Amino acid sequence: MTQQPKIPRATAKRLPIYFRYLTFLHDAGTERISSSELSDAIKFDAATIRRDFSYFGALGKRGYGYEVKALLDFFANVLDQDSLINVALIGAGNLGQALLNFNFHQSSNMRISAAFDADEKRTGTILAGVPIYKMSELKEQISAQRINIAILTVPQGVAQDITDQLVSAGVKGILNFTPLRVTVPANVRVQNVDLTNELQTLVYFIENYGSITTGL
């Protein structure tokens, strides 16, 4: 993967959205698109899109727009879409099983290659094509499968302890579905997903601003 310039966090979070929609356009046979057309489709304002793209140099031409195939190839390289990324799932309860049944690999280069759980009734089984291992096998499997990203869907009370195990095993990124804001070293990144908080935020915007579509 080519070394990319540092960009704002908000821009980085929008890149996969650009990539998914550009893939849709390319599959539909669209050859060119303007920032205003892209804005109408993905609900980010055109100025934000142009600013995001500007971090990577001249990707389009004024009055001409953007070549869909060229943009798609560029963002595929930025997002390292040519490499298959193995992800570990920690916690194969209800939420974990729902994530296992969702096939990430259909729309991205990521796949859950290993799941881990403390319940012996689940370990040693295969769910949605993914083996479920004992927690005692975590470090060995993360090393063997070269996993550096994990999804955390465990009870809050054990979240920090398991996070420490993941860090010790070499994981560099954690998607945290637990309510606990886990503590990690500076070289490990955590993305927190709090569904209750997201719903409360959505209710607030509906009640105070109406049905307004907001960007990232």
Single residue among 28, 51, 78 that ends a domain in this structure: 78
| pLDDT of 58 | 58
| pLDDT of 162 | 97
Domain identity same for 29 and 69: yes
Q: Is the pTM of this model over 0.75?
A: no
Q: Extract the tokens encoding 5.
A: 């310039």
As a whole number of angstroms, the distance between CA 24 and CA 75 comes to 14
* DSSP strands (E only) in 156-205: 173-176, 189-192
As a whole number of angstroms, the distance between CA 207 and CA 161 comes to 39
Phi, psi values for residue 44, rounded to 5°: -105, 145
Residue for token pair 């960009």: 7
Mind listing the pLDDT tens digit for each residue in 60-106? 666 678 888 888 888 877 776 556 788 999 999 999 999 998 866 55
- Structural domain span for residue 21: 9-78
pLDDT averaged per 10 residues, the chain (length 216): 65 83 88 89 88 77 79 79 80 93 68 93 91 94 92 96 96 95 95 86 79 53
| pLDDT of 80 | 66
Domain identity same for 49 and 90: no
| pLDDT of 1 | 47
Residue 74 lies in a domain: yes
Instruction: Count CB atoms within 10 A of the CB of residue 122.
Output: 19
- DSSP codes of every residue in 58-108: --SBTTTBEEHHHHHHHHHHHTTTTS-EEEEEE--SHHHHHHHHS-GGGTS
